């Protein structure tokens, strides 16, 4: 059962300009709402808005799986906000491939890398001049996955893309630290969202088990709520985390059996 959170401090992100990808639903929508609740101005994107897309944010329709799509979105977002202080790379899509890793076709590997890894690299590249211009205090949070460390075979390509995101984030953190810009990575575990629910059902069907079996055994006793990830983003994006950079944080109810 998800407990009620301590109300957000509405002054924490006052004056901050945030760009969040994939904020139309699920974890991204919770991140957008949490930053709004903290007083930030937020722009988000997805291919389609949903009923879940927070109304207080500016929604820019777009597809960030290509370089051209990212550049168009970044330019529109910067026009809207006049600059940027917080970047959250959340948009991604895990696509299961059953039948063996060697049978994953080249197009699926490239698709996985484009959306789950290169989209974040391209968004950051497009926004870095504006982040640098805003000066010390800028923050990038990349949303990775526990699959980066413990990839199930049907998600080998997704897990590899997320592992690349972790590694890239570490290098970027080192490069940007002298400018006072922090880069952190969050690795969610099983969080109940529209996108991930489909993946879990695919796994359950392939294994011939009930859906609930996929999230059974999480040490803290429940799957994640998107707000669990949004709280971690809010912390890492805030000055409370001013001495944290280059970190990859598991937020997974204790599920990942690794240090
Ligand atoms: N939920 C979990 O259990 C879990 C676990 C580990 C990691 N994660 C990570 O957490 C993040 C959010 O996952 P989620 O479960 O909230 O997924 P979700 O419910 O599928 O939401 C994904 C968001 O990304 C957007 N998106 C997807 N492809 C896009 C594209 N080409 N261009 C622009 N936007 C695009 C989607 O909107 P459109 O489809 O309309 O474009 C949507 O807003 C992802 O990085 C995911 O890898 C989730």
pLDDT of residue 215: 92
pLDDT of residue 92: 98
Burial of 90 (0-12, 13-18, 19+ CB in 10 A): buried
Query: What is the pLDDT confidence band of residue 149, given thresholds at 50, 70 and 90?
Result: very high
Distance 115 CA to ligand 1 centre (A): 10
Mean pLDDT of 74-79: 98
Q: Whose CA is nearest to atom 48 of ligand 1?
A: 188
User: Would you say residue 10 lies in a domain?
Assistant: no
Distance 103 CA to ligand 1 centre (A): 24
pLDDT digits 0-9 by tens, 89-129: 999 999 999 999 999 999 999 999 999 999 999 999 999 99
Distance 25 CA to ligand 1 centre (A): 8
d(CA 235, CA 57): 20
Cβ–ligand 1 contact at 112 (below 6 Å): no
User: Would you say residue 55 lies in a domain?
Assistant: yes
Cβ–ligand 1 contact at 192 (below 6 Å): no
Q: Whose CA is nearest to atom 23 of ligand 1?
A: 22
Comparing 121-125, 130-134, 145-149, 202-206, the range with the smallest average pLDDT is 202-206
DSSP state of 6: P
Cβ–ligand 1 contact at 28 (below 6 Å): yes
Distance 90 CA to ligand 1 centre (A): 6
**CATH code, domain carrying 88:** 3.40.50.720
Distance 239 CA to ligand 1 centre (A): 26
User: Would you say residue 172 lies in a domain?
Assistant: yes
Specify the residue for token string 């998600």.
155
Cβ–ligand 1 contact at 64 (below 6 Å): yes
Note whether 89 and 138 are within 8 A (CB): no
Per-residue tokens: 232: 């971690």
Cβ–ligand 1 contact at 22 (below 6 Å): yes
User: Would you say residue 136 lies in a domain?
Assistant: yes
Look up 158 and say whether it is catalytic.
yes
pLDDT digits 0-9 by tens, 165-186: 999 999 999 999 999 999 999 9
User: Would you say residue 137 lies in a domain?
Assistant: yes
pLDDT of residue 2: 82
Q: Which of 70, 158, 215, 228 is catalytic?
A: 158
User: Would you say residue 141 lies in a domain?
Assistant: yes
pLDDT of residue 125: 98
Its domain, for residue 156, covers 17-189+225-251
User: Would you say residue 214 lies in a domain?
Assistant: no
Q: What string of DSSP letters covers 50-101?
A: -TTS-TTSEEEE--TTSHHHHHHHHHHHHHHHSS-SEEEE---------S-G
Cβ–ligand 1 contact at 191 (below 6 Å): yes
The residues, any chain, with a CB within 8 Å of residue 135's CB and separated by 6 or more, are 180
Ligand 1 atom having least distance to the Cα of 191: 3
User: Would you say residue 96 lies in a domain?
Assistant: yes
Our count of domains for the chain comes to 1
Cβ–ligand 1 contact at 74 (below 6 Å): no
């Amino acid at each position: 059962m998800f407990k009620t959170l301590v109300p957000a401090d509405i002054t924490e992100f006052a004056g901050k300009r945030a760009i969040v990808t994939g904020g139309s639903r699920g974890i991204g929508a919770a991140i957008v709402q949490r930053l709004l609740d903290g007083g930030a101005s937020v722009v988000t994107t997805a291919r389609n808005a949903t009923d879940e897309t927070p109304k207080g944010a500016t929604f820019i329709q777009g597809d960030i799986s290509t370089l051209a799509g990212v550049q168009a979105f970044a330019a529109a977002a910067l026009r809207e906000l006049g600059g940027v202080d917080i970047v959250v790379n959340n948009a991604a899509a895990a696509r299961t491939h059953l039948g063996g890793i060697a049978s994953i076709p080249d197009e699926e590997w490239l698709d996985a890398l484009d959306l789950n890894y290169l989209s974040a690299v391209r968004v950051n590249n497009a926004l870095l001049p504006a982040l640098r211009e805003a000066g010390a205090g800028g923050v990038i949070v990349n949303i990775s996955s526990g699959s980066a460390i413990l990839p199930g075979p049907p998600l080998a390509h997704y897990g590899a893309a997320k592992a690349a995101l972790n590694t890239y984030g570490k290098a970027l953190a080192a490069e940007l630290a002298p400018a006072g810009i922090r880069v952190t990575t969050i690795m969610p575990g099983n969080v109940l969202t529209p996108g991930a629910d489909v993946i879990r059902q695919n796994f359950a069907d392939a294994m011939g088990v009930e859906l609930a079996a996929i999230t059974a055994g999480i040490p803290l006793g429940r799957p994640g709520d998107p707000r669990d990830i949004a709280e971690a983003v809010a912390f890492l994006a805030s000055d409370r985390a001013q001495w944290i950079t280059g970190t990859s944080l598991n937020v997974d109810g204790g599920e990942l059996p690794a240090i």
